[in-house]
Amino acid sequence: MSFIKNTLSWIAPPTAPGVQSGAGGADFLTTKLDVLVQWAHSNSLWPLPFGTACCAIEFMSVVSSHYDLSRFGAEVVRFSPRQADMMIVAGTVTDKQAPILRKIYDQMAEPKWVVSMGVCACTGGFYRAYHVVQGIDEIVPVDVYVAGCPPTPENLMRGIIELQRRIQTGDLARHRQNKTYVPIRVGEQPVIGLPAYSQSVMAPNRPGVSEMPVMADSAEADMGAKADVLKHQGDRS
């Protein structure tokens, strides 16, 4: 994409910001190309199932005959990160699994999207425990959180449809550019002792994090006013 844009800007340099470019100029062309590319992206999401637990069984249901994800152009399940666009993290991610998840995410080619399927992947679910990552947004940026334990296949498909919609409108691309992701798993020391978790607001008597991680905070700041609650009632006409 950037290659095309660069080429086009070499042929016809973009106008200075603020100056209205005439229709038919390079801007018009790239805008139309954007739409085309977004359309193509959204309808050929090749999923990489990072399935670890119960949600992976439901993911199998989603791709098998009853729900058939191929109706959304997402049937080409690829286990190689190099060939996939959309990582579906299905199941609990433990601390032991976390570096692997990050590595696979890094190996995926841009543009890439992450769907967090099920509450374990989203927040750790009811495992507020010593070996469970309290939400994979500690490790990778998440585009869609799908609730449920495990989510029904319809729920996951709704999440993917909404992801497609946002890819098409271009919201996601802009949102991701501003997303300042700080990888937390760095450092010279291989072992970093964390203090026991701070008291949770939601559950004062049990440990677990309730604050948003750094990444999610900035994401929220970016989304700002147009924080779009993905609610089914809203867009069901």
Please report, as residue ranges, which positions from 25 to 44 form the binding site for other proteins (by CB under 8 A): 31
Using rule CB under 8 A, residue 56 touches other proteins: yes
Regarding 68 and contact with other proteins (CB under 8 A), the answer is yes
Burial of 14 (0-12, 13-18, 19+ CB in 10 A): middle
Give the one residue of 147, 176, 179, 181 binding other proteins; rule: CB under 8 A. Answer: 147
Closest CA to 38 of 215, 201, 174: 174
- Check binding of 143 to other proteins (CB under 8 A): yes
Minimal distance, residue 111 CB to other proteins, in Å: 17
Q: Which of residues 79-138 bind other proteins (CB under 8 A)?
A: 79, 91-92, 94-100, 103-104, 119-120, 122-132, 135, 137
Of 2, 20, 233, 237, the residue at the interface with other proteins (CB under 8 A) is 233
Residue 125, phi then psi, degrees to nearest 5: 60, -140
Give residue 81's identity as a one-letter amino acid code. P
Binding residue (CB under 8 A) for other proteins from 25, 152, 181, 214: 152
60 binds other proteins (CB under 8 A): yes
Return the number of other C-beta atoms located less than 10 Å from residue 53's C-beta. Answer: 15
CA gap 48, 78 in Å, rounded: 5
| 66 touching other proteins, by CB under 8 A | yes
> Using CA atoms, how far apart are residues 196 and 130, in angstroms rounded to an integer?
9
Nearer to other proteins, 3 or 107 (CB): 107
114 with 89: CB under 8 angstroms?
yes
**CA 205 centroid distance within chain:** 32
- Smaller CB separation from other proteins, 11 or 191: 191
State yes or no: residue 12 binds other proteins (CB under 8 A): no
Find the Cα–Cα–Cα–Cα dihedral 51, 55, 61, 64, rounded to 10°: -10
Among 45, 141, 145, 164, binds other proteins (CB under 8 A): 145
Touching other proteins, residues 203-232 (CB under 8 A) = 203, 206-208, 212, 216, 219-220, 223, 225-232
Query: Closest CB to other proteins among 42 and 155?
Result: 155
Q: What is the DSSP code string of 115-162?
A: EEESHHHHH-TT--STTB-S-GGGTS--SEEE-SSSPPHHHHHHHHHH
- What minimum distance in Å lies between the beta carbon of 29 and other proteins? 14
Nearest approach, Cβ of residue 163 and other proteins (Å): 9
Query: Could you count the other beta carbons within 10 Å of the beta carbon of residue 213?
Result: 18
- Give the footprint of other proteins on residues 171-190 (CB under 8 A): 171, 184-185, 187, 190
